[in-house]
Structure 1
Amino acid sequence: MYDTRISRRAALLGAGAVAAWVSNPARAMLQAAAQLPVPAFVDGLVAKMTLAEKAGQLTLMPAAWSGGTATALNPATQGSSFDTQLDEVRQGSITGVFNGNGAEMARRMQTAAMTQSRLKIPLLFAADVIHGHRTIFPVPVGEAASFEPDLAERTARMASYEAAAAGIDWTFAPMVDIARDQRWGRTMEGAGEDVLLGNLIAEARVRGFQGKDLKANDAMLACAKHFAAYGAAEAGLDYSTVDVSERTLREVYLPPFKAALDAGVLSFMASFNEISGVPSTGNEWLMRKLLRDEWGFEGFVVSDYTGDMEMIDHGFAQDLREAAKLAFLAGVDMSMTSGFYRQHLPELVEAGEVPVARVDELVRKVLAMKARLGLFEDPFRRIDAKREKTRSRTKAATALSREAGRKSIVLLKNQGDLLPLPKSGKKIAIIGPFAAGQHDLNGPWVVYGDQANATDLASGVRAAVADKASVTVTPGSGVEEPLAGGIEAAVAAAQAADVVLLAIGESETMSGEAQSRAEIVMPAPQQALAEAVAATGKPIVVVLKNGRALALQGAVANAPAILVTWFLGTETGNAIADVLFGAYSPSARLPCSFPRSPGQQPYYYAHKQTGRPNPSDDKLEPYKAHYRGIPNKALYPFGHGLTYGVIEYTDLQAAPKLAWDGDLSVSVRVSNRGKRAAEEVVQLYIRDRVASVTRPVRELKAFRKLALAPGQSETVTFKLRRDLLLFIGRDDKPTVEPGTFDLWVAPSAEAEGVHTTFELVR
């Protein structure tokens, strides 16, 4: 169970911390510095370094010895052999590598650094450990659907336990970008569209990756990415322009980064996009004035893959040399992949265009971080081939993957209580491109996981039923192409069955980086398959595989039961079977709104009302804010999800006034009137009716997840305070104003639930 009252006093931008910084910057800086001390030996080491060696400490490169997956995940660059990279280590021209090939690779490289380089500075090994290392957990947006930050912390902790054993010191996660346009492929990598949920998941994953002691051999340095507003790319097009007001930036896109910082994250990654005409990699306001001066960040910032190079194509830098200079002076401390810093920083310093003092400052930061990770004390503390094997895919990790998987599955629809299915007495036809096979199980952004170790849907279903022969498998179509005779075979299979599991959706290559979709609908061959199977009249359970919200149409939308299963990782089939057959009552809720049409994008629940709202969803009036033929509502909104129970909200109790320095107790009776146990996510939303800056129609301020036995009721209580009503005012600073607020306690962002109003009084 989770009640946001316990862990956060403010939902917007860590407003209390911002206020503390503004009122007392010296104290805030001292506190931050105390968190990241620079060991005494670092200054002496920096004094011995040449400019080339200093530039090397600020240069991170892809591992030359890496697997095919790592190579495929990143754009093509000039490759180098492992022997060449070992020479770079000996010369001190790289600080470390990323996405390498395990403990043996790390051992050989670290041995070269510690025995053959001039200064014996240990290397830093990084990797994209996004949702698991060898054991794969649900994609982050799916895990966020659990509405359990504790679960996100536990899976990040397990990922760190596995990955650190393979020599990895640093992960490029969590991604904390708010995603409000489902066309954007990287929706799968974050926590969805809501700021509060995004904050809580960001905090949890940082704690999970970093553990209690960064020197521990099961801890990794976390990296909050992508700074900033990458999820606001125009039209959901990856790498595209971002142009938002500072208010929107501070109110929506920056808070999860501040939450990650407050949780102790010590590295940030610059985003690819520009903001209001300035690429983030060259944005001094973002990297220095906001991140360091205002927030007091004392860690380091790394560019994204060739991000400094890309300022040339942005039209912001004239050439390679200028790109290196702009990124460095803006506050990007480490260059990833381009090699620009080691190529151009020495020359820029000698020409007087970059102060050597700033170079020394950044090198100190990097060396201090290596010390914080324990690398100077023991450069091999995470490099152990035997430990790498014993920590991989343990029983505990597999069990956690299954738990996380079933807690991530959202039940959108369940007409006639079609689900859960009985374990015997029914013939089941699993139809669709994701019915069976070791493919598309782990999901996008998996560098080290093997599909061969994952359980597919058919295997999970057969393991759950009494008679394995009662289950048939028919592909019916490919993901984006028809199969000869596929529909005919699928129809025959459906006709011979009592119930159909229609396993359709997106492949791994349809979500993730560089996978923006103009039409977030079911691919045409799969839609045709769904229509043909539906025409048989057999009961259909749609089992969606997806990395984003989809616009469901036709037979897919009309199916009596729909499960959103995302990409669940290692235990995919078993987790889905747990929900299908009632071993687990679905408890997840949507972290992103499913639109009625792809043309609604970007759609998110916390939108503004406009001056011409449509007064009713039942009747669309002319000259009001809606698209032709559809209301300005989601098909399935943020927070929506069903259980196998019947949930009822009653007896809302709240005082009519909230005193300026007081609190308001809000309680509601939540009951399970069904015959099965259930878990409900009780959500509290508010709306500021009148403010000096217009406010969204609803904003999530707290939630609690609770388990209810059949017939059980529980009173859920929340505490509201003035700081939970803060917004970013006209001066781009947090403020709050007296006035009338609507309040809902409801099962989703667009459900009525129970409603009241209260007055904030000074």
Structure 2
Amino acid sequence: MTLEEKLAQLVGYWSDQTTDAVAPMSGEMAPPASFEEAIEHGIGHLTRVYGTFPVEPLERARWLWEQQRRLVTGTRLGIPAIVHEEVLTGLAAWKAATFPTPLAWGAAFDPELVERMGAAIGRSMRELGIHQGLAPVLDVIRDPRWGRVDECIAEDPYVVGTIGTAYVRGLQQEGVHATLKHFVGYSASQAGRNHAPTHIGPRELADVFLPPFEMAIRDGGARSVMNSYAEIDGVPVAAASELLTGLLRDTWGFDGVVVSDYFAVAFLESMHGIAADRGEAAQLALDAGIDVELPSGDAYLAPLAARVRSGQVPEELIDRSVLRVLSQKEDLGLFDATFDDPPERIDLDDAEHRQIARRLAEQSVILLSNDGSLPIEGARRIALIGPNADSAESLMGCYSFANHVLAHHPGTEFGFAIPTVREGLEQRFPSSQLLVSRGCEVEGDDRDGIGAAVGTARSAEVAIVVVGDRAGLFGRGTVGEGNDADSLELPGVQRELVEAVIATGTPTVVVLLTGRPYALGWLLDGSHPAAAVLQAFFPGEEGGTALAAILAGDVNPSGRLPVSLPRSAGAQPFSYLHPILGGPSDITSADSTPVRPFGFGLGYTTFAHEALEVAEQVPTTGSFVVRVRVRNTGRCPGADVVQLYARDTAASVTRPVAQLVGYERVALEPGEEAILAFDVPTSRLAFTGRALRRIVEPGDIELWVGPSSAVKETVARTELVGAVHEVDSSEDRIVAVRVESVARPTPAA
């Protein structure tokens, strides 16, 4: 291969690159060359063929097959391109299914269902000739002010790791590759700002931010990793060889391909200031371990070629990455593909997609409070109020095709069905009169509609107020990439609207459609709280239908908070994984206690957790079994998320006051009980010691099961005995949960 042919394999080509804000600072980069110029030496990646404009999928597939044939037959080497797309909430293509946002995956606590969703997305990718999906996001949430929280799964690294790994397995079982992002530390941005510096110590990096990536690589077999835009303690990740090569490849054994986040290589010059020009930026990134520059070749083409020819960059570095890319293409079967038969028909939103979307939406909705007003029964007049009550956009996340791309193409239909909350309620309550009033907008200070909304609420038996966010990018919307917040109050005048409706005395149910948790103490624990509050994190195309079913009582809400519900913006950053000094005390007047803790969620039934059992002593190596009895103590069927927590009561470094060890979703009929057995590897209790090695120490461990991280409903203790155990990288870290027995209530005589 010539040098030009090698470099061509290390870059993407974005034929549809636009100045529209669908990638950070895309308008400041060089426009793409013509396709004829680009394919002269081949192409490594084709960037967002379906996901930049609303193109008819079948027509675009025929175009794509033709371009791949041109690469095979019209270039000297005949190497096809990898096609990559965004797949965070489903395939980001026109007319494709839109699933709940990842924060809702975390709320559902159901890895098996997320794996099914990943497989459905992977099938759509494969049918359209797409090979690599830019998901999942494995950033651990630290600060809800950060706009990209809706792309994340949870504030707990084990939840992020297990659910993210399930998504990887599902996607890749369809013969396509997942891309883990953003490696690493992106979500710890200073003040919750996008593209901000991060200040993470090596222990926090190892114990909180890295485990999800390691799990997805070791347990999920992820084939691609994308770097983070972050700089950690002054070192941009895109130039951090200690992370991208030393840790990722040498320690973890990753043998896939590392791709840059869009324009991240060029940002080493323009945003971080550690490179004098694009050529030096390319050298730094390539040496660190970034194999492929996306979305285009701003640094890895002419600037890098000049450095190679001047002797500043050894060509062996180029060869290293080219071999990785060619191996990936071989794994994907591209060298055997002929591209003779583009698809003739395809359904990107078939019955399976919708069934998964509906179930995931139902399982992700969290009941934060309820005075008995839910479920709604027998109401003849229902007031439906709020800017999100009849909005399809408010059901979808930032990386949905509708909010990511179609926002730049007003008037273009979504191309798939997405009933709003209003439409869901109309279908579910056909005999009730639905009185609709918008009240206000999501953003802005226009209060003119609040008076009419108050009148609507007074004339109804129950009021449902649907408020929250509008996802978008870079200042277009209230949450999403580049839409960071310095306040955690509901945007605009929505709080005033809610308070005015509650003040009417009509029982008021508040439904939150958001991409981040907001400070809701006034709504949940204030002097005039709402009758009930439902939290939905952008529940996707079936979200309106799912919410209607929950409001009616057809579905028992079973979501749990994957992130603490904050007290205020000033209490951030916060995590339930805090040491003693990270919690409230008498020596500070500031209170960081969340309004609702991690793991919290109510339902229309109740559960009891009893008889937690564990051996009195367990060795620091191996595993141990924890058993607990869970019982449905209410009068209707429901699903519980059984949460096992632990605390190392005295360790050589400070440890969290609570750490989720394992979890399991279990469905029970009224009066039914089950014995759950958690097989816990001691590596789940490992931490990074003073010597910066992962260890399990001997000592006392407190274990408990409860309805959230803050409640110890049933408690047991064990002692880890033996020598300090240094955890081997091959040791299992997954907690296996078995339902050992199910006892049904004895019928009354």
Q: From 534, 549, 555, give the equivalent of 1:584.
A: 555
Contact 1:170 1:220 in 2 (8 A): yes
Shift of 1:105: 3.5
Contact 1:209 1:221 in 2 (8 A): yes
1:511-590 alignment, distance < 5 Å: 511-555=479-523, 558-590=529-561
Contact 1:157 1:208 in 2 (8 A): yes
Q: From 223, 234, 257, give the equivalent of 1:300.
A: 257
- Write the deviation string for residues 83-108 of structure 1: whole angstroms up to 9, x where unpaired: 81243124425543234454133223
Partner AA of 1:158 in structure 2: A
SS in 1 for 2:679: strand
Shift of 1:730: 1.1
**Rounded Cα–Cα distance in structure 2 between residues aligned with 1:170 and 1:606:** 34
Contact 1:165 1:391 in 2 (8 A): no
Q: Residues 539 and 260 from structure 1, CA distance in 2 versus in 1: closer, same or farther, beyond 3 angstroms?
A: same
Deviates more, 1:84-93 or 1:367-376: 84-93
Partner AA of 1:76 in structure 2: G
Q: Residues 716 and 206 from structure 1, CA distance in 2 versus in 1: closer, same or farther, beyond 3 angstroms?
A: same
Q: From 181, 206, 211, give the equivalent of 2:168.
A: 206
**Rounded Cα–Cα distance in structure 2 between residues aligned with 1:666 and 1:364:** 47
Q: Residues 729 and 78 from structure 1, CA distance in 2 versus in 1: closer, same or farther, beyond 3 angstroms?
A: closer
- 2:599 pairs with 1:649: no
SS in 2 for 1:340: coil
Partner AA of 1:460 in structure 2: G
| Map of 1:461 onto structure 2 | 425
Shift of 1:148: 0.5
Shift of 1:518: 1.0
Contact 1:224 1:267 in 2 (8 A): yes
Shift of 1:318: 1.4
Q: Residues 197 and 124 from structure 1, CA distance in 2 versus in 1: closer, same or farther, beyond 3 angstroms?
A: same
- 2:189 pairs with 1:233: yes
- 2:277 pairs with 1:319: yes
| Map of 1:419 onto structure 2 | 374
Partner AA of 2:536 in structure 1: T
| Map of 1:50 onto structure 2 | 2
Deviates more, 1:318-327 or 1:716-725: 716-725
**Rounded Cα–Cα distance in structure 1 between residues aligned with 2:147 and 2:155:** 14
**Rounded Cα–Cα distance in structure 1 between residues aligned with 2:483 and 2:397:** 13
- 2:574 pairs with 1:603: yes
Q: From 301, 325, 350, give the equivalent of 1:394.
A: 350
Partner AA of 1:298 in structure 2: D
Q: Residues 661 and 437 from structure 1, CA distance in 2 versus in 1: closer, same or farther, beyond 3 angstroms?
A: closer
SS in 1 for 2:177: coil
| Map of 1:253 onto structure 2 | 209
SS in 2 for 1:675: coil
Shift of 1:609: 0.7
SS in 1 for 2:453: helix
**Rounded Cα–Cα distance in structure 2 between residues aligned with 1:733 and 1:593:** 29
- 2:27 pairs with 1:76: yes
**Rounded Cα–Cα distance in structure 1 between residues aligned with 2:109 and 2:4:** 48
- Write the deviation string for residues 243-268 of structure 1: whole angstroms up to 9, x where unpaired: 21111111110111111111111111
SS in 2 for 1:341: coil
Q: From 99, 103, 120, give the equivalent of 1:141.
A: 103
- Write the deviation string for residues 664-703 of structure 1: whole angstroms up to 9, x where unpaired: 4322222222111111111111111111111111111111
Partner AA of 1:361 in structure 2: R
Partner AA of 2:388 in structure 1: F
Contact 1:184 1:231 in 2 (8 A): yes
TM-score scaled by length of structure 1: 0.87
Aligned length: 689
SS in 2 for 1:513: coil
- 2:228 pairs with 1:271: yes
Unaligned stretches of 5+ in structure 1? Answer: 1-48, 212-217, 615-619
**Rounded Cα–Cα distance in structure 2 between residues aligned with 1:72 and 1:257:** 23
Contact 1:681 1:704 in 2 (8 A): yes
Contact 2:641 2:663 in 1 (8 A): yes
**Rounded Cα–Cα distance in structure 2 between residues aligned with 1:52 and 1:720:** 52
- Write the deviation string for residues 394-413 of structure 1: whole angstroms up to 9, x where unpaired: 11211211111111111111
| Map of 1:502 onto structure 2 | 465
**Rounded Cα–Cα distance in structure 2 between residues aligned with 1:264 and 1:663:** 24
**Rounded Cα–Cα distance in structure 2 between residues aligned with 1:203 and 1:399:** 22
- Write the deviation string for residues 557-598 of structure 1: whole angstroms up to 9, x where unpaired: 621211111111111211111211111111111110001112
**Rounded Cα–Cα distance in structure 2 between residues aligned with 1:65 and 1:332:** 22
Q: Residues 556 and 435 from structure 1, CA distance in 2 versus in 1: closer, same or farther, beyond 3 angstroms?
A: farther
**Rounded Cα–Cα distance in structure 2 between residues aligned with 1:633 and 1:437:** 33
SS in 2 for 1:309: helix
| Map of 2:290 onto structure 1 | 332
Q: From 614, 628, 635, give the equivalent of 1:668.
A: 628
Shift of 1:451: 4.0
Shift of 1:72: 6.9
| Map of 1:348 onto structure 2 | 307
Partner AA of 2:335 in structure 1: F
Q: Residues 109 and 556 from structure 1, CA distance in 2 versus in 1: closer, same or farther, beyond 3 angstroms?
A: farther
| Structure number with higher helix proportion | 1
**Rounded Cα–Cα distance in structure 2 between residues aligned with 1:201 and 1:664:** 23
- 2:248 pairs with 1:280: no
**Rounded Cα–Cα distance in structure 2 between residues aligned with 1:447 and 1:319:** 34
Q: Which structure is richer in relative contact order (CA contacts within 8 A, separation 6 or more)?
A: 1
Over the aligned positions, Cα root-mean-square deviation in angstroms equals: 2.1
| Map of 2:38 onto structure 1 | 88
SS in 1 for 2:333: coil
| Map of 1:481 onto structure 2 | 444
Contact 1:99 1:447 in 2 (8 A): no
SS in 2 for 1:125: strand
| Map of 2:136 onto structure 1 | 174
| Map of 1:490 onto structure 2 | 453
| Map of 2:389 onto structure 1 | 435
Deviates more, 1:261-270 or 1:478-487: 478-487
| Map of 1:760 onto structure 2 | 720
SS in 2 for 1:193: coil
Contact 1:658 1:759 in 2 (8 A): yes
Partner AA of 2:162 in structure 1: L
Shift of 1:555: 4.2
**Rounded Cα–Cα distance in structure 2 between residues aligned with 1:549 and 1:484:** 24
Identity across matched positions, percent: 35
Contact 1:142 1:567 in 2 (8 A): yes
SS in 2 for 1:565: strand
Contact 2:278 2:298 in 1 (8 A): no
Shift of 1:379: 4.9
SS in 1 for 2:335: coil
Shift of 1:657: 2.2
| Map of 2:124 onto structure 1 | 162
Contact 2:43 2:81 in 1 (8 A): no
SS in 1 for 2:84: strand
**Rounded Cα–Cα distance in structure 1 between residues aligned with 2:263 and 2:357:** 33
- Write the deviation string for residues 329-381 of structure 1: whole angstroms up to 9, x where unpaired: 11111111352101222222222221112211211111111111111101538
Shift of 1:73: 7.7
- Write the deviation string for residues 456-503 of structure 1: whole angstroms up to 9, x where unpaired: 000011111131x51122110000124463111101110111111110
Q: Residues 511 and 321 from structure 1, CA distance in 2 versus in 1: closer, same or farther, beyond 3 angstroms?
A: same
| Map of 1:37 onto structure 2 | none
Partner AA of 1:391 in structure 2: D
TM-score scaled by length of structure 2: 0.88
Shift of 1:386: 2.0
SS in 1 for 2:580: coil
Unaligned stretches of 5+ in structure 2? Answer: 407-412, 473-477, 723-749
Shift of 1:721: 4.2
**Rounded Cα–Cα distance in structure 1 between residues aligned with 2:492 and 2:37:** 52
**Rounded Cα–Cα distance in structure 1 between residues aligned with 2:606 and 2:438:** 35
